[in-house]
Amino acid sequence: MINSGLYKRYEDKAPYTCTKDSLTWWFAFNDSKILIQNSKSEILIPQFEDLATIGCEISSKHYIGKIEGHNCFAVALRSKKGIDEHFSFIPLKALYSSVDDDIFFISTKASQIVHWDATHKFCGRCGHTTNELENQNAKVCPNCGFISYPVISPAVITAILKDDKILLAHNANFTKNMYSLIAGFVEPGETLEEAAQREIMEEVGIKVKNVKYFGSQPWPFPNSLMLGFTAEYESGDVQVDGVEILKADWFTKDNMPEIPQKVSIARRIIDWYLNI
């Protein structure tokens, strides 16, 4: 899925307004799961004047903009204790297709802000406790002045085509028999195209050519930016590394294995292949 919804109703730079508002949005997380308000017909992100009124113990709170004029907060909850039966926690991926695009992508942004805050409470240069900078997502060290911003880790993911076939691989971290595209993080000094070619050679032992950009997607697990590509097979025989990739093979459109859910850019690229 390509991010097409983040700014439909959302203003990330809108100034905070300190007013009583029963429609304040709370994107609250505990142990990487997001708090939802239970409903028989739909998944609802909580909207209250004050999240603490439902018994939540908040460990950190970050203003992240407005939805249709209403304040939005990314929140870390200290525990799940105190939450009654009207609320529950679900994996972030479960929101996809259950809420509209802009709410889903704001949820992913909030998740990344919460994770960044939890992992940057101390200065990476001198170890001193950091302070938040006003009116921006940043932390400053009062001791040495070092400023840190939310971490975004670029990763490439590539569809490799050979004649009428696509190369799909089973990663050691995948469940059951799911197959997907070759992916990996960009290393210092690389272009995105070079990263795609290196990852493919390292994981399945083949060379590719004509690497072309397809699209991108934020992937908050915990802080990736997925950059999608397509490429043509050039040479070599498929030889998996046996560490990250356990199996890999060429598949035709009428003989596809289990593939990722539609929440991912991997699925969007695979669907593109199925329709060309």
Q: Is residue 212 part of a domain?
A: yes
Which tens digits make up the pLDDT trace of 215-273?
999 999 889 999 999 999 999 999 999 999 999 999 999 999 999 988 899 999 999 99
Residue 234 lies in a domain: yes
Tell me the average pLDDT across 6-31. Answer: 90
Q: Are residues 195 and 261 in the same domain?
A: yes
Above 50 in pLDDT, residue 1?
no
Give per-residue pLDDT as tens, 117-175: 999 999 999 999 999 998 788 999 999 999 999 999 999 999 999 999 999 999 999 98
Q: How buried is 47 (Cβ within 10 angstroms: 0-12 exposed, 13-18 middle, 19+ buried)?
A: middle
- Classify residue 4: in a domain, yes or no: no
Q: Would the pLDDT of 2 be above 70?
A: no
Asked whether residue 53 falls in the same domain as residue 128, the answer is no
Mean pLDDT of 193-217: 98
Out of 133, 150, 167, a domain closes at 150
- Whether residues 158 and 265 share a domain: the answer is yes
What is the residue range of 221's domain? 153-275
Give residue 122's region: left, alpha or beta (phi > 0; psi -120 to 50). Answer: beta
Q: Is residue 2 domain-resident?
A: no
- Give residue-wise pLDDT tens across range 59-89: 999 999 999 999 999 999 998 877 878 899 9
Q: For residues 167 and 155, what is the distance between their CA atoms, to the nearest angstrom?
A: 18
Domain shared by 79 and 140, yes or no: no
158 in the same domain as 65:
no
Count of domains for the chain: 3
**What's the CA gap between 101 and 210, in Å, rounded?**
32
Q: What is the pTM of this model?
A: 0.88
Residues 82 and 31 reside in one and the same domain: yes
The whole-number average pLDDT for the span 19-38 is: 94
Same domain, 107 and 134: no
Residues 197 and 256 in one domain: yes
User: How would DSSP label each residue in the chain?
Assistant: -----TTSSEETTPPP-----TT-EEEEEETTEEEEE--SS--B--B-S-GGGGT--EEEEEEEEEETTEEEEEEEES-STT--TTEEEEEGGGGTTTS-HHHHHHHHHHHHHHHHHHH-SB-TTT-PBPEEPTTSS-EE-TTT--EE----EEEEEEEEEETTEEEEEEETTS-TTB-B-EEEEPPTT--HHHHHHHHHHHHH--EEEEEEEEEEEEETTTTEEEEEEEEEEEE------SSSEEEEEEE-TTS--B---TTSHHHHHHHHHHH-
- Type of residue found at 189: G
Is residue 192 over pLDDT 50? yes
CB atoms within 10 A of CB 229: 26
Q: Are residues 165 and 261 in the same domain?
A: yes
Residue 3 clears pLDDT 60, i.e. is over it: no
Q: Do residues 139 and 201 both lie within one domain?
A: no
Same domain, 157 and 137: no
Q: Tell whether 102 and 15 lie within a shared domain.
A: yes
pLDDT at residue 4, rounded to an integer = 54
